């Protein structure tokens, strides 16, 4: 068996797995097949002599191809809303039906279709296929910590669309309201009470830069990451004066929206009645993709 035949045989061994990955990413059997075919073409052009895990390498390649396809979708906003609704099972042949039967349900695919491309990739590859965050980080061009946050945000959005989400949001709203009130009132003890002892605060580059400029006016320095209730409470005590509750990807968070236009998003994760993570997002494009919705009161 020559090298080409060996590669072809290994690729066929992985084809079913690759189609499942691509379908979960794209929600379309035909597009999934296109992504797998592109992975085969890239395999033929690549030097894989140093690749020790061909299956993992191919999964990464398919992930990159699907990410490009998802980003291409996002750039075509003028298309009809239903342009990428996942294909129904009765529209496909028996072989394709197997791919869908082994995949996620239609309802979840619709939810995934609402995620930003990088969020969808991080969630699918990590939560559904256990791909490590350091490998996902290479695909999306971010740090492993940022890739982890993408998956976490996607996970919360998926939960926000699940049965019982309304009751969960009501509980989240109570915690977020208490957090904002304690922050505005400068009540350090109340902030500590609503924050998990191991809470993590992350801020994007735009937010960190803006906070640095504002230190002359008394604002605290903001690091890209802070850990622990005391550190996070210190960053927020007496702050968040203009922050308002908002729906962020199906869960309760907050935004700063002067004139009704969201400028900064506070993506807040709540578990067991306490805030476990906060992500401050000020990058305009990222804020636009999140599409936060202001809530009353």
Residue 83 has pLDDT above 60, yes or no: no
Q: Are 100 and 179 members of one domain?
A: no
Question: What's residue 286's pLDDT?
Answer: 82
Q: Distance between CA 120 and CA 153 in Å, rounded? A: 10
Question: What does the pLDDT look like over 150-192, one tens digit per residue?
Answer: 888 888 777 766 656 667 778 889 999 999 999 999 999 999 9
Q: 121 or 223: whose pLDDT is higher?
A: 121
Q: Are 156 and 169 members of one domain?
A: no
Question: What's residue 166's pLDDT?
Answer: 65
Q: Are 154 and 204 members of one domain?
A: no
Question: What does the pLDDT look like over 206-264, one tens digit per residue?
Answer: 888 888 876 655 556 678 889 999 999 999 988 888 899 998 877 889 999 998 899 99
Q: Predicted confidence band at 143 (pLDDT cuts at 50, 70, 90)?
A: confident
Work out the mean pLDDT of the chain and round it to a whole number: 82
CATH number for the domain spanning 266: value is 3.10.450.50
Q: Kindly state the average pLDDT of the residues 110-137.
A: 87
Q: Are 55 and 81 members of one domain?
A: yes
Residue in the block written with tokens 């996942």:
86
Q: Kindly state the average pLDDT of the residues 141-150.
A: 87
User: Please, are residues 261 and 246 in contact by the beta-carbon 8 Å criterion?
Assistant: no
Residue 57 has pLDDT above 60, yes or no: yes
- Count CB atoms within 10 A of the CB of residue 218: 7
Question: What's residue 292's pLDDT?
Answer: 85
pLDDT-wise least confident of 60-64, 209-213, 271-275 = 209-213
Question: Could you give the number of structural domains in the chain?
Answer: 2
Question: What's residue 132's pLDDT?
Answer: 92
CATH number for the domain spanning 146: value is 1.20.140.160
Q: Predicted confidence band at 296 (pLDDT cuts at 50, 70, 90)?
A: confident
Residue 92 has pLDDT above 50, yes or no: no
Residue 276 has pLDDT above 80, yes or no: yes
Q: Distance between CA 125 and CA 67 in Å, rounded? A: 11
Tell me which of 140, 160, 180 is where a domain ends: 160
Residue 110 has pLDDT above 80, yes or no: no
Q: Predicted confidence band at 75 (pLDDT cuts at 50, 70, 90)?
A: low
Q: Are 104 and 227 members of one domain?
A: no
Q: Predicted confidence band at 91 (pLDDT cuts at 50, 70, 90)?
A: very low
Q: Are 155 and 14 members of one domain?
A: yes
Q: Are 273 and 150 members of one domain?
A: no
Q: Are 58 and 103 members of one domain?
A: yes
The burial class, CB within 10 Å (0-12 / 13-18 / 19+), for 278 is: buried
Sheet holding 274-281, edge to edge: 225-227, 195-203, 274-281, 264-271, 251-256, 243-248, 293-294
Q: Are 77 and 183 members of one domain?
A: no
Q: Are 231 and 192 members of one domain?
A: yes
Which residues constitute the domain of residue 190?
165-294
Is pTM beyond 0.95 here? no
Q: Distance between CA 36 and CA 174 in Å, rounded? A: 46
């Amino acid at each position: 068996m020559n090298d080409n035949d060996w590669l072809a045989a290994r690729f066929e061994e992985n084809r079913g797995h690759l189609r499942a990955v691509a379908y979960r990413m794209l929600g379309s059997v035909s597009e999934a097949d296109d992504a797998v075919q592109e992975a085969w073409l890239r395999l033929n052009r690549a030097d894989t002599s140093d690749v020790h895990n061909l299956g993992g390498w191919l999964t990464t390649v398919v992930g990159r191809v699907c990410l490009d396809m998802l980003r291409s979708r996002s750039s075509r906003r003028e298309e009809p809303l239903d342009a990428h609704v996942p294909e129904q099972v009765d529209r496909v042949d028996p072989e394709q039906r197997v791919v869908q039967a082994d995949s996620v349900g239609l309802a979840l695919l619709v939810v995934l279709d609402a995620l930003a491309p990088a969020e969808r990739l991080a969630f699918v590859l990590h939560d559904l296929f256990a791909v490590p965050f350091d490998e996902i980080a290479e695909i999306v061009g971010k740090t492993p910590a940022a890739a982890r946050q993408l998956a976490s945000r996607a996970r919360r959005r998926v939960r926000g669309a699940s049965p019982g989400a309304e009751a969960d949001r009501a509980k989240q709203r109570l915690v977020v309201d208490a957090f904002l009130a304690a922050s505005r009132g400068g009540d350090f003890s109340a902030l500590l009470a609503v924050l998990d002892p191991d809470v993590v605060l992350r801020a994007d580059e735009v937010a960190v830069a803006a906070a640095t400029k504002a230190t002359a006016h008394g604002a605290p320095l903001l690091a890209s990451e802070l850990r622990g209730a005391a550190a996070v409470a210190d960053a927020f005590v007496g702050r968040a004066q203009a922050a308002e509750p908002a729906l962020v990807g199906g869960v309760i968070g907050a935004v700063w929206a002067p004139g009704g236009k969201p400028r900064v998003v506070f993506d807040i994760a709540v578990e067991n009645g306490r805030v476990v993570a906060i992500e401050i997002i000020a990058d305009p494009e990222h804020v636009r993709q999140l599409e936060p919705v202001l809530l009353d009161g």
